[in-house]
Structure formats: C-alpha cells, structure tokens
Amino acid sequence: MKKQPVGCFFIEYYRYSAIYRKAKYFLVTFAGQIFNLNMKILLLGSGGRESALSWKMKQSPLCEALYIAPGNAGTAQYGQNIAMGINDFEAIKAFCLEQEIDTLFPGSEDPLVNGVYDFFKNDEALKNITIVGPSKAGAELEGSKDFAKEFMQRHNIPTAAYATFDATNFEAGLAYLEQHSTPIVLKADGLAAGKGVVITSDKEEARKVFTDMIKGNQFGSAGARVVIEQFLTGIELSVFAFTDGKNFVILPEAKDYKRIGEGDTGLNTGGMGAISPVPFAAGTFMDKVMEQVVKPTVAGLAEEKITYQGFIFFGLIKVADEPYVIEYNCRMGDPETEVVMPRLQNDLLEMIQHLDDQSLDKVQVQHDPRAACTVMLVAGGYPEDYAKGDVISGIDQVTNSIVFHAGTKQEGAQVLTNGGRVLAVTSYGDNIQDALAQSYDSIQQISFSHQNYRKDIGYEFK
C-alpha cells in the first residue's frame, strides 16, 4: 500500500473545512466572471425534485441566473419562476434566446421523451446550449418499456423475463397470459404518469387489463403495446448515474416509498418519502450493480451511438443478492432528489460543465457522510381525488429541516396547496433514524387541511 505523508491528512481536513468552501466560493465567482464560466439556467418542472435541484444550483458560485418554468412557491426562493409549459418548445426557445440561457435542464421525462434535446441541437440558434438530459433516442429508455427491455437483452443487463404484445399478436398475448405464473406484471409500453404498471394474481383481471390497454381504452397510445413480465420478489432501491455519454459518476443512492399506506399498502403514488443511504447498497451487491448494470448501460448507449448526457435513474430490485433492473428513467427521481441533492457535496453546476466536452472523468463525487431522509406531506385523498387551494401554515417555523415545495403556489402572502404531493420535509442525521426523527418533528410545525403523510418511512431499517 502506498504510504500517505502526514501532511495529506491536514490537506484533507482543509478540503472539508468551511474556510476552504468560502474561499473556493469567492475564487470561483471571481474566476467565473473573468473566464465567462458563470451560467444562466432554465430548469423545467414544478415538483419537489425541481425545488431540490434549484436549491442545489443556487448554492453554486457559478449560478448567474436561474429560471424555473413553471416552478412553484418554493422554487421562487432560489430563482425566478416563469409561466411557461414544459412541453412548449417554441416558448422555451424564445425565452432561451431572450435571456441568453446557456443551460436547459428538463427536470421531468416529458420534454426529454418528446425530443427537447433534438429540438435544440437541430436549431442553429440553440445548438450551443447545454442540455442536461438525453436525446429523444436515449430518453426511450424511459419512454418505451419494450425499448428498455430489448436494450437490456442486447447488453446482457439483468432484468425480469418478458414478452411484448400489440394489436397484431393480441390473441398470442391472451394465450401467453393463460400459461403465465402469477402474479403477472403488465406494463403499458409508453409514458403513463407512473400508473402504467398493473400487478395481479387474478387471471381474469390480467386479461381485462391487457385487453383494455391494447384496445386503447386505458392509457391511450401508451398502452398500444404491452410488456408482460415475470414478477420479481425482493427489495427495491434507486441508483443514479450522471453521464457525459462516455464517463459517469455515481450519486448517492436512495430508496423511495411509493405506496400511500403504511407498510407499503394501498395505491401507488409518485412517492411518499425517501431515504439515503440505503443500508444494503454496499459491498459485493453494489459491485454487481456497477459491473452488471451501470457500466454496460453507459457502454451500450455509446456503442449504439445513442446520445446521452444527463442522469440515468436505475430502478433496481435486489433478489437474493442479485440486482435486476425494474425500470430506467431518463431524469432524477422524485422524491429521491430531495435526499440525493442534500447528500451530494459537489457543485452540480460544475459537474454540468463537464457534459459537453465529455470530461466527467475529471470529477470526483463526494457524498455527505450523513444520512438524509424526506417525508412527503400530501393532500388528503391523494392519489385519488383531493382538494387544492388550502392555506399552508408553519413552513417558516421549521428550522432544523429543509422544506422543499412540491404542489404549492403563492397567492399574495399565502402559500396554498396546489397538487397531491405538497411538501417534502428533508432532514440530515447521523443515521437514517435520526434524520427521520427530525423530519417527523419538523412536520409538527406545518399544517394545512386534510394533510396526510406516511408515519413509517424507512420502516425496514429501524
């Protein structure tokens, strides 16, 4: 083993000290002005994820201007909200040109799957703008379950066995269902706002869902093709890579809690809370994730000449000690971002500056050794019908947690609920339990009518 001189320890200590960070902040700001490194960013989205991303970017000395379209009452604390649709590419173009935006950051999958990357790169006036996200072809990893499954097959990436059907082989699909073991997993091929997966042990129900999907009654065109998949039993986690198409870095991993009810029961939601780190994401299991999943995915994209720069979200399940890919997403997770960004010690904007020239190999990612957790406060009734427009009070009383806004809007001096998932209350702790205790404590300060939240986030690790 190479011997480290004693001086190295002092240098390491200095690197983490507040003095170092302050000195670096001023130096980078100064250098940024001289060398024109400062950035003007347009972030697309309005959820807790975008609040956490804008919170993170605002801390960077490289951040000259930050706009969020359309944003929410929370993002307005870190940048300027712009009333603009995330899929209105012409309006986005006009805004980018007018404000001399140099970085477009789509927070959610929709604009990416709709081809915002290609729209920019094919336009003379926009092509030099950095896009944090993949090309339309790359976004198919999330936009089409069938594409993702075929990609995994081509690159030997572990995933559940499957078959794909559409109107042309509908009868064969029914026959396939008949002989399939239960539970059966049915997935609408296209984007279905997180609702395109049905798991059932009832063959009659499986036939009905399958028929409804293919005949277009359910999920519209997203369901025109259906992936029928083997059911995997295990524990899930989310792993995130940030790639320039050649190199990648790994961000802190997270586990989210998708069901509305305690003990993972009831309907699926966008996510009711998240923790990071994930205790079992260590050792040989993570080595397998790296070797069998992350590296072949990044290499496979490059090999197939699919332009991909941005986040790859690996939705994984650990079966015995083996990782399997349940899904890919072409953007960060929500609410995972609300714990991943607080644990990422690097300057996110500096990392983004390594995308276009594919120099991410120069970046060493530092994870905060503390745990972070987030608990989602949701509107009563969510994920089914719920009220909007309720007054939220007490956010400013919270001092020991970060309150990321999700479905909120500002009206005069008041903050009102404006969505199913309303606020994400994130805390640090020496361990997951401490972080959770802090979030649950902070939640007591906040109130709005019919507020609901899961009381058991992180329950497996208590």
Q: Which among ligand AMP, ligand GLY, none contacts residue 271 (Cβ within 5 to 8 A by kind)?
A: ligand GLY
**In whole angstroms, how close is the CB of 232 to ligand AMP at the nearest point?**
4
Q: Which of residues 317-346 bind ligand AMP (CB under 6 A)?
A: 326-327
197 binds ligand AMP (CB under 6 A): yes
For CA atoms 290, 295, 296, 297, the dihedral sign is: positive
**In whole angstroms, how close is the CB of 391 to ligand GLY at the nearest point?**
28
DSSP string across 232-268:
--SEEEEEEEEE-SS-EEEPPPBEE--EEETTTEEEE
336 binds ligand GLY (CB under 6 A): yes
Residues in contact with 414: Cβ distance below 8 Å, sequence separation at least 6, in sequence order: 391, 392
**In whole angstroms, how close is the CB of 101 to ligand GLY at the nearest point?**
25
**In whole angstroms, how close is the CB of 183 to ligand AMP at the nearest point?**
8
Distance between CA atoms of residues 338 and 272, nearest Å: 12
Distance between CA atoms of residues 41 and 373, nearest Å: 27
163 binds ligand AMP (CB under 6 A): no
How many Cβ atoms are within 10 Å of 212's Cβ, its own excluded? 17
**Torsion angles phi and psi, residue 122, rounded to 5:** -90, 5
Region near ligand GLY per CB under 6 A, out of 153-161, 275-283, 331-339, 367-375: 331-339
Q: Which residue is nearest to ligand AMP (CB)?
A: 327
Among 102, 109, 140, 229, binds ligand AMP (CB under 6 A): 229
Region near ligand AMP per CB under 6 A, out of 26-34, 205-213, 229-237, 438-446: 229-237
Distance between CA atoms of residues 204 and 189, nearest Å: 21
185 binds ligand AMP (CB under 6 A): yes
Among 329, 374, 427, 439, binds ligand GLY (CB under 6 A): 329
Residues in contact with 10: Cβ distance below 8 Å, sequence separation at least 6, in sequence order: none
Cβ-contact 272, 385 below 8 angstroms = no
**In whole angstroms, how close is the CB of 340 to ligand GLY at the nearest point?**
11
Distance between CA atoms of residues 140 and 148, nearest Å: 7
Between 237 and 436, name the residue whose CB sits nearer to ligand AMP: 237
Distance between CA atoms of residues 441 and 444, nearest Å: 6
Chain positions contacting ligand GLY, by CB under 6 A: 256, 271, 329, 333-334, 336
Chain positions contacting ligand AMP, by CB under 6 A: 160, 185, 187, 197, 229, 231-232, 236, 258, 315, 326-327
